[in-house]
Amino acid sequence: MTGKENGAAQSQDGAARLPLAGVRIIDFTQVLAGPYCTQQLALLGADVVKVENRAGGDQGRGLGPATDPGLLDHAMSTLFLSVNAGKRSVTLDLKHSRAGEVVRRLAACADVLVQNFKAGTMDRMGLGYEALKQVNPRLVYCSISGYGQTGPRAPAAAYDPSIQAASGMMAVTGAVGAEPLKTGYWLTDMATATQACFAVSTALYHRERTGEGDHLDLSMLDTAVGIMAPTISFWQVNGQEPLPNGNRSQTNNPTSDAFPTGDGFLMVAAPTQGQFAAFARTLGLADLPDDPRFATLQDRIANGDALRKTFIAALAAADAGAWEARLAEAGVPASRVSSVPQVCADGQLAHRGTFRPVPRQQALGGGGGVYVDLAFHGANTARGTNRPPPLLGEHTDEVLAEFGFSEEEVAGLRREGAI
């Protein structure tokens, strides 16, 4: 690896080396998919240098605004805070005549570059893969875009909702007969980010064995269609168009659905005969599997409305949390439909250490914030950061000095308005 090791190379307890310590990443990404990718890599120890436009920075700084005046004054939106922990910020005007000089010097000493401009944007600025490969043949260059770097839709702008629409996700989500519905969170952005981490890690492994860098072309649409693979297969194999089915199972099994209880909704997934029987017994309906209307899966599908009414009448006797516990003991997959505040207070997530503390800069009043940790745990894989999401340009002088820029050069770039 070519990157200089830094404070991010140690886990929060300082006891173990982070697996990506020494990997240096130049991050030209904005909003969600790219920043979430590079945050995950930063939590594993990569030194992520976030390059932002000197006029306003990452678009995400102004999206999902915070209510804290200090955060608002420093363009630290809730969205930005969620995906930028562990990074350092450098400001650079990419349209400035000296921008190319700066980027090439950064790329020459980097392991990875990640960008999520529209296809062709970096090439037009002379900063595409082929150009930067000349200064660093070992560079792993990751391009994230809505539709990919090639093809008829490649130049089009994209955000998560438009990709959900293009991928078929919206056509199969929501209530029967209702208008198409997107998810209540940025599904394709976050999934593409995770796919990009996989791609970058694979390319770094390949480079360690061969010495070769690579250009990785990540498409949000490709990622979304990959997530849709089982649903798409239903059409490709059976010739039947998948349609929205509300909260019921995609197989239309009425024992996999969301049901009202004494205080909220309970999501049950009891698709097998044994789970249906256990569900019925737990609800005090042990004779239900013997009812000829519900004896087989096809019988239950044909009489789904009657079965649902029977379940709802029984579930009204207790709240969703109580039913969740009873069904867990019976071996039936089920969970109350939790609100976001309930998720943040969840005991299982607390046990897993999912919400990690991180300090805030004195300019923001100090104190602490929180980021969501990586989803995997390994006995020998340390992770974590004590570096908060950066203020715009907070580390410009520090980073440029590390990349070999003299004080005079930095001062000149600032006088000329490049940084």
Express each pLDDT in 278-318 by its tens digit: 999 999 999 999 999 999 999 999 999 999 999 999 999 99
Whether residue 234 is contained in a domain is answered as: no
- Identify whether residues 100 and 130 lie together within a single domain: yes
Whose CA is closest to 191, among 168, 155, 158, 218? Answer: 218
Whether residue 232 is contained in a domain is answered as: no
CB 47 within 8 A of CB 3: yes
- Identify whether residues 213 and 93 lie together within a single domain: yes
Whether residue 107 is contained in a domain is answered as: yes
- 36 by Cβ neighbours in 10 Å (0-12 / 13-18 / 19+) ranks as buried
Whose CA is closest to 247, among 258, 236, 237? Answer: 258
Distance of alpha carbon 38 from the chain centroid: 10
Spatial neighbors of 288 by CB under 8 A, at least 6 apart, are 280, 294, 310
Classify the phi-psi angles of 206: left when phi > 0, otherwise alpha if psi is within -120 to 50, otherwise beta: alpha
Average pLDDT of the chain?
Answer: 94
- Identify whether residues 130 and 279 lie together within a single domain: no
φ, ψ of residue 82 in degrees (nearest 5): -75, -20
d(CA 71, CA 115): 26
What's the structural domain count of the chain? 2
Whose CA is closest to 138, among 204, 46, 50? Answer: 204
The CATH number assigned to the domain holding 291 equals 3.30.1540.10
- Identify whether residues 325 and 372 lie together within a single domain: no
Task: Tell me the residue range of the domain where 318 lies.
Answer: 256-260+265-336
Whether residue 221 is contained in a domain is answered as: yes
Catalytic residue among 189, 214, 217, 373: 189
Among 305, 336, 367, the domain boundary falls at: 336
- Identify whether residues 313 and 368 lie together within a single domain: no
pLDDT tens readout for residues 334-346:
999 999 999 999 9
d(CA 8, CA 5): 8
- Identify whether residues 288 and 385 lie together within a single domain: no
Task: Say whether 27 is catalytic.
Answer: no
Whether residue 243 is contained in a domain is answered as: no
CB 114 within 8 A of CB 144: yes
Confidence at 223, pLDDT banded by 50, 70, 90: very high
- Identify whether residues 365 and 332 lie together within a single domain: no
pLDDT for position 17: 85
What the block records as the tokens of 41 is 């890599």
Is the model's pLDDT at 222 over the cut of 50? Answer: yes
The CATH number assigned to the domain holding 364 equals 3.40.50.10540
Whether residue 231 is contained in a domain is answered as: no
- Identify whether residues 215 and 325 lie together within a single domain: no
